[in-house]
């Protein structure tokens, strides 16, 4: 047996040494610059014509709190409607049946193709087209009584949201490997069961970040419902400043609540993502 050759000289042992910390001068400089700019903006607002006492007074006013509750109720209900419509439309888009495919494509085309505010106004003014709404044999009612601001906002926001959500859902389903669909077929599943049990749960993982995006967009889009008298937070803030002329103060109040709601939603989205990431982690929990 040959002995192993001795290691060559000239390569010192580095095992005891640690990496030095670098000073990163540019980072410190950049951070200082940003703090300065922010301070200047804050100073400008503090010295500007804003009565901060009005902001703090109205921040928790009953009308404003009711407004943010109405905003959230509308956003959640419209999103649920949007998700249901979106899943149905996405499944129809991926169907082999050309009639179903066309209906779904037409739905997306129509409701993505017109402005949301226009759709809200159309729903709210539906009474101009159909003075009475009813099901033959079940009775009817005057459209003005049925089409309340709440219902008009829910239909307008939810159906519009469904058109966008359907594309997100379709992208999610397309992202699932075709082998998953074949494996589901191979154990005797039909198309719908395979979609529901196998494809959609896997699509959810991909779909949640953009759906979170859509929901945040929808929370803010509820403010458009102020034009049809739905008492959400912006609408109520407007009503107050029509009376007391403290426009900027009340807009800051409304802005604060929108920011707060969106800040709470982000960690909620992370929780959901973790729930649907089940099985993708290599290490057992």
Partner 1 sequence: MTRPLVAIRSVCKNFGEFQALKSVSLDVWPGEVMCLIGASGSGKTTLLRCVNQLTAIDSGGIWLDGDLLGVREQGGRLHRLSERQIARQRLKTGMVFQRFNLFPHKTALENIVEGPAQVQGRPLDQVRAEAIELLRRVGLAAKAESYPAQLSGGQQQRVAIARALAMKPMLMLFDEPTSALDPELVGEVLAVMKELAQSGMTMMVVTHELGFAREVADRVVYMDQGSIVESGQASDVLGAPREARTRAFLSAVI
Contact positions vs partner 1 (CB under 8 A):
177, 179-180, 182-191, 193, 197-198, 201-202, 276, 278-284
Taking the complex as a whole, the smallest distance from the CB of residue 257 to partner 1 amounts, in Å, to 37
- Locate tokens 């419509």: which residue? 85
Instruction: In angstroms, give the least distance from the CB of 234 to partner 1.
Output: 40
Q: How near is the Cβ of 200 to partner 1 at its closest, in Å?
A: 10
Q: Which of 166, 150, 146 is nearest to 78 (CA)?
A: 150
Cβ atoms of 244 and 57 within 8 Å: the answer is no
Spatial distance between the Cα atoms of 90 and 64, rounded to a whole number of angstroms? 38
Please name the residue that has the structure tokens 């859509």.
214
Nearest distance from C-beta of residue 275 to partner 1, angstroms: 11
Q: Which residue has the tokens 């943010």?
A: 68
Beta carbons of 172 and 93 less than 8 angstroms apart: no
- In the complex, the smallest distance separating the C-beta of residue 204 from partner 1, rounded to whole angstroms, is 9
* Residue 5 vs 188, nearer CB to partner 1: 188
For the record, the structure tokens of 138 come out as 């079940």
Tell me whether residue 199 or residue 250 sits nearer to partner 1 (CB atom): 199
User: Which residue number, 3 or 284, has a Cβ lying nearer to partner 1?
Assistant: 284
Cβ nearer to partner 1, comparing 4 with 283:
283
Q: Kindly tell me which of 44 and 187 has the beta carbon lying closer to partner 1.
A: 187
CA distance 109 to 225: 22
Look at residues 159, 156, 83 and name the one whose alpha carbon lies nearest to residue 121.
Answer: 156
């Amino acid at each position: 047996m040959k002995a192993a050759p001795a290691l060559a000289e000239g390569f010192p042992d580095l095992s005891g040494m640690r990496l030095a910390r670098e000073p990163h001068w540019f980072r410190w400089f950049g951070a200082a610059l940003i703090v300065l700019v922010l301070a200047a903006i804050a100073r400008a607002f503090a010295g500007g014509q804003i009565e901060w006492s009005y902001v703090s007074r109205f921040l928790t006013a009953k009308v404003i709190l009711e407004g943010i509750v109405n905003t959230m109720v509308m956003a959640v209900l419209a999103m649920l409607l949007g998700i249901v419509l979106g899943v149905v439309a996405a499944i129809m888009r991926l169907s082999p049946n050309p009639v179903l495919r066309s209906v779904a494509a037409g739905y997306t085309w129509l409701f993505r193709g017109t402005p949301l505010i226009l759709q809200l106004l159309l729903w709210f003014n539906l009474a101009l087209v159909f003075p009475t709404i009813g099901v033959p044999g079940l009775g009817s009612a005057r459209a003005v009584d049925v089409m309340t601001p709440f219902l008009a906002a829910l239909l307008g926001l939810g159906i519009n949201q469904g058109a966008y959500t359907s594309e997100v859902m379709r992208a999610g389903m397309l992202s699932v490997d075709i082998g998953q669909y074949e494996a589901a077929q191979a154990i005797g599943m039909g198309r719908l069961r395979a979609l529901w049990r196998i494809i959609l749960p896997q699509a959810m993982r991909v779909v949640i970040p953009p759906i979170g995006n859509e929901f945040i967009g929808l929370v803010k889009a509820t403010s458009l419902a102020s034009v049809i008298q739905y008492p959400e937070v912006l609408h109520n803030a407007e009503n107050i400043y029509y009376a007391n002329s403290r426009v900027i103060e009340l807009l800051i109040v409304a802005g604060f609540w929108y920011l707060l709601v969106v800040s709470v939603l982000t960690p909620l989205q992370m929780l959901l993502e973790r729930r649907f990431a089940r099985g993708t982690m290599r290490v057992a929990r």
